[in-house]
Copies of this chain bind each other. A is one copy, B any other.
Amino acid sequence: MLQEREQFAGFLRQQGLRLTSERMAMFEEIYRQHGHLDAEELLAAVQGRGHQVSRATVYRTLELLVRSGLVRKQRVGVRGQLFEHIHPGQQHDHLVCSDCGTVVEFVSPGITALQGEICRAHGFSAAHHQLQILGLCNGCRTAREAPAAEPPREPAPAPA
């Protein structure tokens, strides 16, 4: 994380931007958390540590973190955009349960290979990809198959 902090500070310097306490607080919070978090969660977390930060600043700083290459912005599951710090050297993707909304991360080198292949075929140069596989997790599938209590009418009755 020290290295990433230096990367962020360097990015700001290079862009002629200031290294403010709000920006550092947000940077640290996002690296403290594992997995995804949305802007509101980040705001609450940073405020919870005693920093007075506004929503506008959260969005502005997240934008900077994305531009600096340290954070990835994604739409996973139902709504809103989620942020996560980038794990160097491994891009992961998501399995989303369409019943309960559970999100499981996975890493698949095969996709990176496919990505390159597809880009070549279409004259694109790929930066990164976002893959979401939607389906039923183990628990929800079992719950559907076993009791037959609930009629399986709707494919996805609003995740919790």
Q: Does A75 have its Cβ within 8 Å of any Cβ on chain B?
A: yes
A44 / chain B contacts, CB cutoff of 8 Å = none
Docked-complex contact B124 and A133, CB < 8 angstroms: yes
How far, in angstroms, from A134 to B118 measured CA to CA in the complex? 12
Q: Contact residue range for chain A?
A: 35 or more
B114 contacts A95, C-beta separation under 8 Å: no
- A3 close to B (CB within 8 Å): no
Find the residue from A118, A123, A124, A141 having the highest chain B CB count within 10 A.
A124
Contacts of A104 in B (CB 8 A): 122, 124
| Contact, CB under 8 Å: A129 / B124 | no
Interface 9-residue window, one of A18-26, A34-42, A52-60, A105-113: A105-113
Q: Is A119 an interface residue (CB 8 A)?
A: yes
A110 CB to closest chain B CB (Å) equals 5
Give residues 94-147 of A contacting B (CB, 8 Å): 95, 97-98, 104, 106, 108, 110-111, 114-115, 117-119, 121-138, 141
CB distance B130 to A124 under 8 Å?
no
The answer for the CA separation of A128 and B141 in the assembled complex, in Å, is: 15
**Quick one: given A67-B154, A114-B111, are A135 and B123 in contact (CB under 8 Å)?**
no
Beta-carbon contact of B106 and A121 below 8 Å: yes
Q: Which residue of B lies closest to A105 (CB)?
A: B122
* A119 to B93 alpha-carbon distance, docked (Å): 12
A153 contacts chain B at the CB level, 8 A cutoff: yes
Q: Is A155 located at the chain interface by the 8 A CB criterion?
A: yes
